[in-house]
Chains A and B, each alone.
Chain A
Amino acid sequence: MFETIQEIVYQVTGKTGLTLDTDFVTDLELNSFDIMNIVSAFEDRFDTAIPTRDVWKLRRVSDVIAYMEQHGVGKP
């Protein structure tokens, strides 16, 4: 899943060099629109829906992986 997240983030923002600890806002310095755009891409790729209230919990790459695993979303 980490590789898929890397690929999505690169396709949407052009950012590379992710680690599990990478913070989308403070490390990649994405703005709110970028975050929304990435979340939309995650949903499409993983065929899931992430409620808006949960979007703000996905600060780091590891948060996305944990969230997907908790919600039964596997590798697409």
Chain B
Amino acid sequence: MKDAFYYLETEREKGRSDERLRRAAARFTGLAPGDPQLALSRTEHGKPFFPMLPLHCSVTHSGGIWLCALSPSPVGVDLQRHQKCDGEKIALRYFRPEEADWLVRHPDRFFDLWCIKESYAKYTGAGIVPGLDVFPALEGETLTRHANGVPLRLIPFRPGYSLCLCGGTGGEPALTELPSD
């Protein structure tokens, strides 16, 4: 079973994320949508998980897109729509100095770097409270493909979005749009 993304073009709505995640997991596993094995729990930091299934998940939302990653292996995913921001200030504050310097030379990669950082935070389940500088995002002049030994993959999604998957099985992830709510 390989990694998969399921996404929905919609405004995020209260209480809908778990329902969407169960729908995606039903498709991924072949279980009926109402199967009790699709029950969800959350870690103390709020990361959802399926206590009755050998299935890992991670959820992200940005720019009117809700997206989840499902995998037999632990995963973290982050999607970010490119938007106006003070990238230099944010980089100096939250990234390593060499990463902030790199972004001065590669400002168009700001959201790729952000997604790399946050997908790892989602992978660990600790969120970004421990900081986004817990691993180096650069190997020389290029963005790293590993965070503390865990694979990182930037996945093409749509123009104007960055998407990164941390962990997973390493295969090419399938990308499926879910029917609307």
Interface contact B85-A29, CB-CB below 8 Å: no
B61 CB-CB contact with A under 8 Å: yes
Q: Given A37-B85, A37-B90, are A29 and B12 also a contact pair (CB < 8 Å)? A: yes
Q: How many residues of B contact A (CB 8 A)?
A: 21
A40 CB-CB contact with B under 8 Å: yes
Neighbour of A33 across the interface among B14, B80, B89, B93, CB < 8 A: B80
A32 CB-CB contact with B under 8 Å: yes
Contacts of A40 in B (CB 8 A): 85-86, 89-90, 93
B60 CB-CB contact with A under 8 Å: yes
Neighbour of B62 across the interface among A26, A31, A52, CB < 8 A: A31
Interface contact B131-A31, CB-CB below 8 Å: no
Interface contact B80-A36, CB-CB below 8 Å: no
Cα(A36)–Cα(B89), bound, Å: 10
In the assembled complex, the CB of A55 is this many whole angstroms from the nearest CB of chain B, namely 9
Cα(A59)–Cα(B175), bound, Å: 33
Cα(A33)–Cα(B86), bound, Å: 12
Given contacts A40-B86, A56-B129, 16 further A-B contacts (CB under 8 A): A26-B14, A29-B12, A31-B60, A31-B61, A31-B62, A32-B121, A32-B127, A32-B128, A33-B114, A33-B118, A36-B94, A40-B85, A40-B89, A40-B90, A52-B93, A52-B131
Q: Shortest 7 CB-CB distances between A and B: which pairs? A: A29-B12, A37-B85, A32-B128, A40-B86, A33-B80, A40-B89, A31-B62
Q: 23 A-B contacts, Cβ less than 8 Å apart?
A: A26-B14, A29-B13, A29-B61, A31-B61, A31-B62, A32-B118, A32-B128, A33-B80, A33-B85, A36-B90, A36-B94, A37-B83, A37-B85, A37-B90, A40-B85, A40-B86, A40-B89, A40-B90, A44-B86, A52-B93, A52-B94, A52-B131, A56-B129
